[in-house]
Amino acid sequence: MDFSAAFFEIFLIESDKVAPYKSMNIREDNVPWMNEDYISLIHEAKATAQRAKRTKQAEDIMTANLARNRRNILRDIMKKHYFTNEIEENKFKSKKLWKVLNSLLSTKSKKSHI
């Protein structure tokens, strides 16, 4: 092994220690079923969770859990309603139906390496 190859290998090993690759999930912001009510519940749940984490009081923790549960219930209802309607509208249009089904199943990985 020559000097430049050895240097490059050592450089990569040491740089990975200082600045390693990170994996992060990429959130899809423009989902068709999301509306303003859901976005406001997201902000409410986030704010109450931060307050509960900061104060560590039982009342704040309970409020944060209730806000999180309301957000999750609304999300499930909205997604179910949206996909039920899309499937019903496109049940005789196979190309559009498969597009809806693939978006529902989303088998693609959504991780990005940085």
Query: Whole-angstrom Cα distance, residue 79 to residue 92?
Result: 21
How much is the pLDDT for 29? 65
DSSP code string of 31-94: -TT--HHHHHHHHHHHHHHHHHHHH--HHHHHHHHHHHHHHHHHHHHHHHHHHHHHHHHTTT-H
Helix (H) or strand (E) holding 100: helix 94-105
Q: Residue 62's pLDDT is what?
A: 96
Q: Where are the domains of the chain?
A: 33-101
- For residue 110, the model assigns a pLDDT of 58
Alpha-carbon distance of 87 to 19, in angstroms, equals: 46
Distance, CA of 87 to CA of 96 (rounded, Å):
9
Which residues of the chain are under the pLDDT cut of 50? none
Q: Which pLDDT score is estimated for 47?
A: 94
Residues 82/103, Cβ–Cβ less than 8 Å: no
pTM of the model: 0.62
The pLDDT value recorded for residue 14 is 85
Both tokens assigned to 114: 């940085």
